[in-house]
């Protein structure tokens, strides 16, 4: 019964507890917020690593943790469903948990020197509170096995991200946060509607038990009482798809991302583009569609197959086309996020194990690369105050380390070997040839070309742009260009980009184990 | 038809809320539209979770009992499942949170720009 580790619930609880502690400590002795946040996220990362190692060594591949698991000595009800809420941590969730905590730690280190430049001094403790809450919510989402649980953590993560987008408090971020909030709440309420229909058809909120109930419903003979519930299942699948689609910014509903991600502080943009849009959007979409609804087994999978491929193609191409037209650096990166999320959906939309693992690999690699890009864009803004691409001439000579890291991230997303972006695009192309949809290979190549256009434009202007001022353009200054705590995450992420590109075999092995579990 | 009045009202309220969220240009009216839409979903679930009305879902609308022969021998009446109410209370709390946050941002926007109209706001920011 109880095979899980306490860490599955302790990580979110611990982060929430420390997040509530920060305003209290700030009232007594201000200035300690960053230290507390740093210690909390470090502890959380160590805990997440130990939990992930334990998940990897479990023979079944997942750990079930029953919260409140027995009543009068019974763990299961007479119907077979567990009494308590089940936290199920499998390998897919473990990968995302490591990603959330790892990139969260790097962003917390980076925020130390970056944040005082961007927001008011007396809002810094609020910033760290919301940052810890967002990390707690996302860590909780990755470990859920129950619909109730995931909804609570989903809302914790998204509401803290609404606050974080609004923290700079200038007109643009307020309006972007309001728009983000309205559209995000629309997505959430559609997800609630989906949970409602799922519960009314299966009678349980537990994901694993709901999967067995759905199997009974979908294989019931026509005309029986169970077969009438099929329509509820169809409606539930549709609502979940649209709800999570809004949260991951697919084509018709991508408008909020282009405003919210540039308006946030750069460290938060890195977290939003790299993690939130994935954990709250695509991770949950995969979790529901493959673990609960089993779309690879039932006929509604075929409809979703076509819809996903069409939406993903449009998202990828349209995102890149919009990005080419941008002049603001962070807005360009935000449209690039929309385009890369299209890649993940292409991988998922094939409904084959190869496609799903290519999609998850792209999710992992994009999280690392996009965080790297946003953090280095933030470093450029911190040092020079320039956000306009056309004015970034010769920045590569003033800030060589930052621009090198930016170039590594850009090359990874364009798809240059041996960086990790190339590996995931290769996996996607392999998956598309394996499932016979040759058209996708052309879409992938076209999109790589479009990515190259707008990324290499920035790199070209930064390194080779014609300079009009002649003051100290080529000689390096004595002191370092950006503080060590800001340079360290950039270097670590660049090394990670290279590492996960060369050691892609390890990631593919891990992901194939995760997909095997999801495919059951 | 009138027996399903709950579900019809859900659809009507959802439509009204969606209209308010999308078509209206005042920030507060958009927020009220969102609230109406969320309320319709809660109504749907509570209506479904009732033992009297949910005909196709009556088997789960009763709270599942732990098998206890002593209770079964006394023939207890079905209770309404507590899970829908608990989930909807959680969702209501979330909705209140989002409303509070949106209103506070609207207050700051009004203080800074003097208007709550989205058309004027997008012109002002330039």
Structure confidence by residue, pLDDT tens digits, B67-86: 555 555 666 555 667 788 88
Q: What is the mean pLDDT of residues A368-385?
A: 91
Model confidence at A473, pLDDT cuts 50, 70, 90, reads very low
Q: Does position A469 have pLDDT exceeding 70, yes or no?
A: no
Reduced to 3 states (helix: H, G, I; strand: E, B; else coil), residue B62 is strand
Contact B65 A178 (CB under 8 A): no
Tokens of A28: 């007594």
* Residue A353: how many other CB atoms lie within 10 Å: 16
Predicted local distance difference test score (pLDDT) of residue A497 = 92
Predicted local distance difference test score (pLDDT) of residue A390 = 85
Measured in angstroms, the CA of A250 and the nearest CA of chain B are apart by: 18
Selecting from A148, A203, A204 the residue whose C-beta is nearest the C-beta of B87 gives: A148
Quote ipTM for the complex: 0.88
Q: Does position A491 have pLDDT exceeding 90, yes or no?
A: yes
Partner A, chain B 54-93, Cβ-Cβ below 8 Å: 54, 56-57, 59-60, 64-68, 83-84, 86-87, 90-91
Q: What is the mean pLDDT of residues B21-49?
A: 91
Which residues of chain A are at the B interface, by a Cβ-Cβ cutoff of 8 Å?
Answer: 71-72, 74, 77-79, 81, 83, 148, 151-152, 155, 159, 162-163, 166, 169, 171-172, 174-175, 177-178, 181-182, 185-186, 188-189, 192-193, 195-196, 199-200, 202-205, 225, 228-229
Q: Does position A381 have pLDDT exceeding 50, yes or no?
A: yes
Contact A196 B45 (CB under 8 A): yes
Q: Does position A312 have pLDDT exceeding 90, yes or no?
A: yes
Q: What is the mean pLDDT of residues A438-448?
A: 90
DSSP H helix total and E strand total for chain B: 6, 0
Q: Does position A472 have pLDDT exceeding 50, yes or no?
A: no
Distance CA A176, CA A197 (A): 32
Distance CA B103, CA A486 (A): 35
Predicted local distance difference test score (pLDDT) of residue B126 = 52
Q: What is the mean pLDDT of residues A337-364?
A: 91
Terminal-to-terminal C-alpha distance of chain A? 20
Contact A175 B67 (CB under 8 A): no
Model confidence at A408, pLDDT cuts 50, 70, 90, reads very high
Measured in angstroms, the CA of B57 and the nearest CA of chain A are apart by: 6
Tell which wins on pLDDT, A221 or A358: A358
Measured in angstroms, the CA of B8 and the nearest CA of chain A are apart by: 15
Q: What is the mean pLDDT of residues B41-53?
A: 78
Q: Does position A25 have pLDDT exceeding 70, yes or no?
A: yes
Q: What is the mean pLDDT of residues A2-16?
A: 83
pTM as predicted: 0.91
Q: What is the mean pLDDT of residues A99-121?
A: 91
Predicted local distance difference test score (pLDDT) of residue B75 = 61
Predicted local distance difference test score (pLDDT) of residue B114 = 87
Give A154-200 pLDDT, tens digit per residue: 999 999 999 999 998 888 889 999 999 999 999 999 999 999 999 88
Q: Does position B66 have pLDDT exceeding 60, yes or no?
A: no
Selecting from A171, A175, A196 the residue whose C-beta is nearest the C-beta of B41 gives: A196
Give A56-99 pLDDT, tens digit per residue: 888 877 888 877 666 655 666 666 677 778 888 889 999 999 99
Predicted local distance difference test score (pLDDT) of residue A479 = 57
Least confident of A86-100, A136-150, A421-435, A455-469: A455-469
> Nearest chain B Cα to A71, which residue?
B66
Distance CA A78, CA A42 (A): 43
Tell which wins on pLDDT, A243 or A418: A243
Predicted local distance difference test score (pLDDT) of residue A72 = 59
Tokens of A433: 């040839």
Please answer whether residues A151 and A192 qualify as being in contact, where contact means their C-beta atoms are separated by less than 8 angstroms. yes
> Would you list the DSSP string of A482-512?
S-HHHHHHHHHHHHHHHHHHHTHHHHHHHHH
Contact B66 A72 (CB under 8 A): yes
Tokens of A232: 């509820």
Predicted local distance difference test score (pLDDT) of residue A468 = 61
Predicted local distance difference test score (pLDDT) of residue B63 = 57
Q: What is the mean pLDDT of residues A319-348?
A: 91
Collect all residues with Cβ–Cβ distance below 8 Å to A484 and sequence separation of at least 6. Answer: none
Percent of chain A scored above 70 by pLDDT? Answer: 94
Beta bridge partners of A346: none
Q: Does position B52 have pLDDT exceeding 70, yes or no?
A: no
Question: Over chain A, what is the mean pLDDT?
Answer: 87
Q: How far is CA A91 from CA A3, A233, A366, A391, A497, in A?
A: 15, 27, 19, 45, 21
> Nearest chain A Cα to B92, which residue?
A189
Collect all residues with Cβ–Cβ distance below 8 Å to A118 and sequence separation of at least 6. Answer: A168, A265, A266, A382
Contact A78 B125 (CB under 8 A): no
Q: Does position A363 have pLDDT exceeding 90, yes or no?
A: yes
Give A261-299 pLDDT, tens digit per residue: 999 999 999 999 989 998 889 999 999 999 898 888 888
């Amino acid at each position: 019964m109880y095979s899980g580790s306490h860490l599955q619930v302790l990580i979110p609880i611990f982060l929430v507890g420390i997040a509530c502690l920060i305003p209290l400590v700030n009232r007594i002795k201000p200035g300690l917020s960053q230290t507390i946040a740093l210690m909390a996220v470090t502890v959380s990362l160590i805990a997440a690593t130990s939990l992930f190692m334990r998940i990897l060594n479990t023979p079944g591949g997942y750990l079930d943790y029953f919260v409140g698991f027995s009543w009068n000595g019974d763990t299961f009800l007479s119907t077979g469903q567990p009494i308590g809420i089940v936290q199920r941590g499998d390998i897919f969730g473990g990968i995302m948990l490591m990603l959330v905590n790892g990139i969260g730690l790097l962003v917390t280190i980076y925020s130390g020197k970056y944040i005082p430049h961007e927001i008011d001094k007396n809002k810094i403790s609020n910033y760290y509170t919301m940052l810890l809450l967002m990390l707690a919510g996302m860590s909780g989402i990755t470990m859920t096995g129950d619909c109730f649980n995931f909804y609570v953590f989903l809302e914790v993560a998204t509401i803290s991200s609404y606050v974080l987008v609004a923290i700079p408090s200038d007109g643009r971020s307020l309006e972007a946060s309001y728009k983000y909030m309205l559209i995000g709440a629309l997505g959430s309420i559609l997800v609630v509607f989906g949970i409602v229909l799922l519960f009314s058809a299966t009678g349980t909120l537990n994901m694993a038990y709901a999967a067995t109930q759905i199997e009974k419903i979908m294989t019931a003979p026509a005309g029986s009482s169970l077969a009438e519930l099929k329509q509820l299942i169809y409606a539930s699948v549709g609502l979940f798809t649209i709800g999570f689609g809004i949260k991951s910014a697919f084509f018709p509903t991508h408008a909020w991302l282009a405003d919210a991600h540039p308006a946030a502080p750069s460290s938060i943009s890195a977290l939003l583009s790299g993690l939130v849009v994935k954990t709250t959007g695509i991770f949950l979409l995969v979790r529901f569609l493959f673990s609960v609804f089993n779309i690879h087994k039932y006929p509604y999978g075929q409809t979703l197959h076509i819809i996903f491929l069409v939406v993903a193609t449009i998202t990828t191409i349209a995102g890149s086309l919009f990005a080419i037209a941008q002049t603001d650096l962070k807005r360009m990166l935000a449209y690039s996020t929309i385009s890369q999320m299209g890649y993940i959906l292409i991988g998922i939309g094939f409904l084959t194990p190869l496609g799903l693992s290519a999609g998850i690999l792209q999710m992992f690699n994009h999280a690392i690369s996009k965080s790297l890009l946003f953090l280095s864009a933030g470093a450029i803004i911190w040092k020079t105050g320039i956000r306009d691409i056309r004015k970034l001439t010769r920045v590569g000579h003033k800030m060589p380390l930052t621009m090198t890291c930016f170039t590594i991230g850009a090359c990874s997303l364009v798809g240059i070997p041996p960086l990790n972006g190339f590996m995931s695009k290769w996996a996607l192309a392999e998956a598309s040839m394996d499932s016979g949809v040759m058209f996708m290979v052309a879409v992938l190549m076209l999109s790589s070309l479009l990515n190259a256009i707008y990324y290499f434009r920035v790199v070209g202007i930064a390194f080779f742009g014609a300079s009009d001022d002649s003051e100290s353009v080529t000689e390096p200054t004595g002191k370092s260009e950006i503080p060590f705590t800001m340079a360290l995450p950039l270097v670590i992420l660049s090394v990670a980009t290279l590492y996960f590109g060369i050691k892609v075999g390890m990631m593919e092995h891990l992901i194939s184990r995760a997909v095997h579990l999801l495919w059951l | 038809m009138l027996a399903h009045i709950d579900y019809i009202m859900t659809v009507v309220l959802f439509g009204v809320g969606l209209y308010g969220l999308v078509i209206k240009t005042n920030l507060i009216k958009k927020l009220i539209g969102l609230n109406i839409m969320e309320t319709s979903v809660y109504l749907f679930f509570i209506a479904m979770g009732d033992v009297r009305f949910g005909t196709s879902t009556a088997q789960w609308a009763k709270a599942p009992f732990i098998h206890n022969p002593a209770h079964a021998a006394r023939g207890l009446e079905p209770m309404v499942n507590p899970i829908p109410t608990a989930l909807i209370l959680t969702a209501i709390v979330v909705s209140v949170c989002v409303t509070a946050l949106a209103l506070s941002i609207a207050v700051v926007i009004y203080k800074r720009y003097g208007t709550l109209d989205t058309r004027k706001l997008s012109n002002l920011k330039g």
